[in-house]
Structure 1
Amino acid sequence: MGATEDIDVIHRGFAAFSAGDMATLNDLFTEDAVWHVPGSGSLSGPKEGRDAILSFFGELMTRSGGNLKVELDDVVGGGDHTVAMSRNHASRDANTLDQRAVIVFTLRDGRVAEARQFFEDTALNDAFWD
């Protein structure tokens, strides 16, 4: 697959996440995919395997009371990686989260095989979700 097709996969993934469409998300990840979450919080660390990634997404929704919104700003495709720039919004108890994030994706045969997430403020992200 080329950069254009990989960009389309990422757009579909963000749309599915926003819609809570777990069936589409399930189809967009390889079974052995790994999602890397930076930081030292309770949600940090690698999520190994598609089921662990989808469980992580569910935990984000549970902890935010379902109000996590991820707005995709841009997607750039290259030869080996596809990069998504987004803004994350959520509220939890009296706290709010509003920050930029970058995810570097590696795709294999039209599916996400690896994702490395980076936050504008990793400590803020850790504090919000813990």
Structure 2
Amino acid sequence: MREATLKLIQDYYAAFNAGDMARFLDLLTDDVIHDINQGGREVGKEAFAAFMERMNGSYREELEDIEVMVNGDGSRAAAEFVVLGTYLKSDEGLPEARGQQYRLPAGAFFDIRDGKVARISNYYNLEDWIRQVSQAAA
């Protein structure tokens, strides 16, 4: 189970980095729980897809230095990584987008059910991101 979960999370991030949203979403349960960094909770693949569409319109991101950790029975996982991004389009309540680049350490926690991601909780330092995009020149 641990190896299957490790591969699932590696595939999840590979699909993200490739911009393959169909594959990315296929790795989720239909009732996936998404805990948004410093935000609310959304439930369901449709809500997650809408979130990703908005994110992909405002940000171009690639993850590097991805380290995945899996618990003993493969039911939970965590990942630590660095987000390399470009702020493309202003997001509501955030600084104006001018093509600023950012580099942001981040992490995520997962629950796994039936070989798919059943919960994803992402964490990063929003104040650090705001500082980076506020100071960056386009």
Q: TM-score, normalised by structure 2?
A: 0.77
SS in 1 for 2:107: strand
Residue 14 (structure 1) aligns with: 13
**Structure 2 Cα separation of the partners of residues 109 and 36 of structure 1:** 20
Structure 2 counterpart of 1:97, which letter? Y
For structure 2, the 5+ residue unaligned runs are: 88-97, 134-138
Structure 2 counterpart of 1:112, which letter? V
Moved more, 54-63 or 100-109: 54-63
For structure 1, the 5+ residue unaligned runs are: none
Instruction: Decide whether the 8 Å contact of 1:9 with 1:28 is kept in 2.
Output: yes
Residue 124 (structure 1) aligns with: 128
Residue 46 (structure 1) aligns with: 41
**Structure 2 Cα separation of the partners of residues 126 and 76 of structure 1:** 28
Structure 2 counterpart of 1:106, which letter? D
C-alpha deviation, 1:46, in angstroms: 1.8
- Aligned alpha-carbon RMSD (Å): 1.8
Number of residues paired by the alignment? Answer: 120
Task: Give % identity.
Answer: 22
**Structure 2 Cα separation of the partners of residues 54 and 72 of structure 1:** 25
Post-superposition, which runs of at least 4 consecutive aligned residues in structure 1 deviate over 2 A?
94-97, 122-128
**Structure 1 Cα separation of the partners of residues 114 and 13 of structure 2:** 18
Structure 1 counterpart of 2:126, which letter? T
Residue 118 (structure 2) aligns with: 113
**Structure 2 Cα separation of the partners of residues 96 and 45 of structure 1:** 26
Q: TM-score, normalised by structure 1?
A: 0.82
C-alpha deviation, 1:116, in angstroms: 1.2
